[in-house]
Structure 1
Amino acid sequence: MTAVTEMLKATEAAVVSRVSLRDINRVIDERILPDAFVSLDNGRHVLAGACSFIAFYFESAKRLTSEERLFAIKTAGPRLTRSRALAWAALLREDWTVRDEFLTIDLLPFVKGTSERLDDLGAAREIVCTSDDILGGTPVIRGTRVPVYDVAAAVAAEYPIGRILDAWPSLDAEKVRLAAIYAEANPLRGRPRVSSDIPEGSTIVTDRRVPRRRKAG
């Protein structure tokens, strides 16, 4: 799985933390995380393990003040620094309780959630491959010629999973789920390429076309 010490792109950190890219930028700009957990070299990056703190900061906003959340992150930060050489399994056995007078905060659920979502991110990376010999280097689902971003677009359009699997019989529900994660963590830049071609390996579910409405004169 993704290592605790890996520096994630901002878009990847957003997926793992279950927040928006705007929130990740806020975390960096407002220095919500300790400086050691953020890198601005060659783009914005966040330590994989620190996504636990990001998730905590935003998910607990309705119950804890900003000062209480920042205190918890500042207190637990050194534990993550000391544990950076550990595997996630060992990290999950650490004590993630933070206490301040009458307040007790357990960060372990956020560490567990981050571990699970990093597993998903690693799996999503594994199922995607690129080759100049396959669709001109377009990222595809490994072992197929199915473009990963086409699958993700179908998920984003809320097509039923059955319809998606009918269109791409070489896939299964898990590959569809991971394709959506990969595309969210690695969004395309610019306007998507428009093509009338049906991707190889897919089948036509319907050929019904809706005529464009003419503008009123």
Structure 2
Amino acid sequence: MPATARLFTPSEAAAVTGIGVKAVNNAIDKQIVKAAKPAPGAGSARRALTVDDLLRVKLWYKVGDILSQERRERLFDAIRQQPKARTVKADDLLIIDVGEARKQIAARTRDLEAAEAMVSQDKEVMGGEPVFRGTRIPVRLIASMLTEGTDAAEILEGYPRLGERQLTLATIWVSAHPRRGRPKSLKDRGFKLKSVRRTTLRRDPRATGTGTAG
């Protein structure tokens, strides 16, 4: 029995194509692509895109600056008629390297699948926070450090159980699986406070003008 082709959420599609998630959703809203109906048990995903949809979205926005909407539509008609062609003639002046776009999407999809296999979630580990499999290191923490400009070598020194490949996959995983809802508390994330001390702040007499001048 053939394997079921993977469907992508808008966030996953954005991570694979390199197109912003807002642009992906805009493509669905404007019916540039038609979101497929998710398979039973697919959870809350209501917008599911196929690999062909990803190719269309990627090319639609990549050639948007040089092709009108009408010419883009003609391009995609040509792609549908030649599904295995490496290059497709958009018009008399432009030839699109569709094969390279497909190759990029395939490589990025493999990276996403590797990232998903690398991440583990267990309520007993860090309160269910996504971590690198076999560790207690939060994936979002590492991705955030990279986004904020922390040098990869510095991260690897601080987290010797990680490798460069894992750092790359962490950013892909986080872009494909953005955090939803309100941020979790430290307790929800599995952190424990050693102590809690309440301190009453004393009023500064100088602030009320009741103090005695020196």
Q: What band does the TM-score fall into relative to the shorter chain?
A: 0.7 to 0.9
**RMSD of aligned residue pairs (Cα, Å):** 2.7
Shifted more, 38-47 versus 132-141: the winner is 38-47
Query: Is the counterpart of residue 67 in structure 1 residue 64 in structure 2?
Result: no
Query: Is the counterpart of residue 95 in structure 1 residue 92 in structure 2?
Result: no
Residue identity in the other structure for 2:10: A
Residue in 2 that maps onto 1:13 = 13
Residue identity in the other structure for 2:92: F
Higher normalized contact order (CA 8 Å, seq sep 6+, divided by chain length): 1
Cα distance in 1 between the residues matched to 2:11 and 2:136: 25
Residue pairs, 1:1-217, within 5 angstroms:
5-33=5-33, 35=34, 38-39=35-36, 42-77=45-80, 94-99=84-89, 102-103=92-93, 104-193=95-184, 195=186
Superposed displacement of residue 117, structure 1: 0.7
Residue in 2 that maps onto 1:83 = none
Superposed displacement of residue 134, structure 1: 1.6
Percent identity at matched positions?
A: 27
Superposed displacement of residue 118, structure 1: 0.6
- Any conservation in 2 of the 1:72–1:98 contact (CA below 8 Å)? yes
Residue identity in the other structure for 1:72: L
SS class of match (1:98):
strand
Q: Deviations over 1:165-209 (max 9, x none)?
A: 12222111110110111011000013433549xx99xxxxxxxxx
Tell me which structure has the larger Cα radius of gyration: 2
Unaligned 5+ segments in structure 1 are 81-93, 201-216
- Any conservation in 2 of the 1:32–1:70 contact (CA below 8 Å)? no
Superposed displacement of residue 99, structure 1: 3.3
Structure-2 change in CA distance of 1:135 and 1:101 (3 Å): closer
Cα distance in 1 between the residues matched to 2:15 and 2:168: 13
- Any conservation in 2 of the 1:53–1:110 contact (CA below 8 Å)? no
Superposed displacement of residue 154, structure 1: 0.8
- Any conservation in 1 of the 2:86–2:100 contact (CA below 8 Å)? no
Residue identity in the other structure for 2:8: L
SS class of match (1:169):
coil
Unaligned 5+ segments in structure 2 are 39-44, 192-206, 208-214
Residue in 2 that maps onto 1:206 = none
Structure-2 change in CA distance of 1:101 and 1:151 (3 Å): closer
Q: Deviations over 1:74-121 (max 9, x none)?
A: 3323655xxxxxxxxxxxxx3143336625333111111111111111
Superposed displacement of residue 13, structure 1: 0.3
Structure-2 change in CA distance of 1:4 and 1:78 (3 Å): farther
Cα distance in 2 between the residues matched to 1:195 and 1:32: 42
SS class of match (2:88):
strand
Q: Which has the higher strand share?
A: 1
* TM-score (structure 1 length as normaliser): 0.74
Superposed displacement of residue 6, structure 1: 1.2
